[in-house]
Amino acid sequence: MNRRTLITALGGTAVAWPVVSRGQSHMRKIGILVAGTPDPTAFLQEFRSSLRGLGYIEGQNIGVEVRSTGSTDPARLKAGAQELLALKVDVIVTLQTPPTEAAKAVTRDVPIVMGGVGDPVGTGIVASLVRPGGNITGVSAATPEVTAKNVELLHELLPAARRIGALCNANDPFSKQFLESIQNAARASNVEVRPVFAGGAPGVEAAFAELLTAKVDAVVVQPSLGVRAAAELSLKHRMPGASPSLPYARAGGLVAYTGNPVAMYRMSAVFTDKILKGAKPADLPIEQPTKFDMIINLKTATALGLTIPPTMLARADEVIE
């Protein structure tokens, strides 16, 4: 079997993938479109591992093409999706809302399996969770609900807080629902919300400058932004923060609560398997997470001079010390 490796750089991000040789033209081909922020490494590892568990072997019965743009810029994502179409992939797998929107914009025929999309109905990606219609199915991250939970956790940790920042991704169609979830949860606690929009990861530092000027007591960070940069800035400026992104807390953010990502990534592979075996996306109901994880960064809490209630530590799935 002849194999070779191609490397592409889209937006400065290099990605390697196997290419199917002419002698293996019978192999099915999976295209994967990711933005690069957040880091897709864990998604790609779990997805590929799950495919192997389902009997797929890269280079033997499937080929996998990955396009990572390095940002959530819509033009770059659309270009990546068009490249996958040109390669005649059998299915496109996406991670989060911006890549899913880009894939939907370029094809109504090739099946799309979305992974971890915040509110696929509210953003217009699918018609409904039970009957998605069209060529898209996959996994919803139930992000509006978990975003509200992150606000509640911040209020529990900072009962005296009266103003929180909402750090939103201007390139993510889900930012509207993300902000609304924060506002609704904050209203119940009589807390003011200061929204700030960043044009992807490069704008996070400038957004933090706005939050500091607004004198917010805490911040909630949208997952599709550069959560590592946001976590580091939260710690640098002594601003407690939360995010529906586990890597945020692991990178130094105070707390994170979200649907279990590993389960969602594996479910994306299950959907892909069903489609490769002939199922139609329109007939496959959208799955939602059934397991949720909470991480508390106790090291960050200590640095910020905060005391975490023992009851909250007991509820956490992971405590970083």
Together in a domain, 178 and 277: no
Other CB atoms within a 10 A radius of the CB of residue 213 amount to: 10
CATH number at residue 108: 3.40.50.2300
Together in a domain, 35 and 82: yes
Together in a domain, 180 and 190: yes
Quick one: pLDDT at residue 189?
87
Together in a domain, 25 and 93: yes
In sequence order, the β-bridge partners of residue 58 are 62
Quick one: pLDDT at residue 20?
36
Together in a domain, 126 and 148: no
Together in a domain, 135 and 284: yes
Quick one: pLDDT at residue 18?
38
Together in a domain, 186 and 204: yes
Euclidean distance between CA atoms 100 and 111, whole angstroms = 11
Element (H, E) at 52: helix 41-53
Together in a domain, 125 and 148: no
Element (H, E) at 217: none
Together in a domain, 186 and 313: yes
Together in a domain, 131 and 149: no
Angle of CA points 7, 170, 93, to nearest 5°: 40
Quick one: pLDDT at residue 22?
35
In sequence order, the β-bridge partners of residue 258 are 293
Q: How far is CA 277 from CA 28, 169, 256, 284, in A?
A: 10, 36, 37, 13
Asked whether the beta carbons of 115 and 96 are under 8 A apart, the reply is yes
- Expressed as residue numbers, the domain containing 182 is 143-259+293-320
Quick one: pLDDT at residue 13?
38
- Number of structural domains (the chain) is 2
Q: Which residues of the chain have pLDDT under 50?
A: 1-25
Euclidean distance between CA atoms 152 and 63, whole angstroms = 44
Together in a domain, 156 and 279: no
Asked whether the beta carbons of 66 and 34 are under 8 A apart, the reply is yes
**Cα maximum dimension of the chain:** 67
Quick one: pLDDT at residue 6?
30
Q: Could you report the per-residue pLDDT of 2-34, keeping only the tens digit for each? A: 333 332 333 333 333 333 333 344 689 999 999
CA atoms within 13 A on the CB side of 19: 12
Asked whether the beta carbons of 154 and 207 are under 8 A apart, the reply is no
Residue that is written with structure tokens 């993300």 in the block: 178
Together in a domain, 80 and 64: yes
Work out the burial of residue 210: count CB atoms within 10 Å of its CB; fewer than 13 is exposed, 13-18 middle, 19 or more buried. middle
Beta-carbon contacts of 25 under 8 Å, excluding residues fewer than 6 positions away, are none
Cis upstream peptide for 289 (omega within 30°) = no
Q: Could you report the per-residue pLDDT of 30-51, keeping only the tens digit for each? A: 999 999 877 899 999 999 999 9
Beta-carbon contacts of 200 under 8 Å, excluding residues fewer than 6 positions away, are 37, 71, 72, 73, 169, 170, 171, 225, 226
Residue that is written with structure tokens 């069209």 in the block: 134
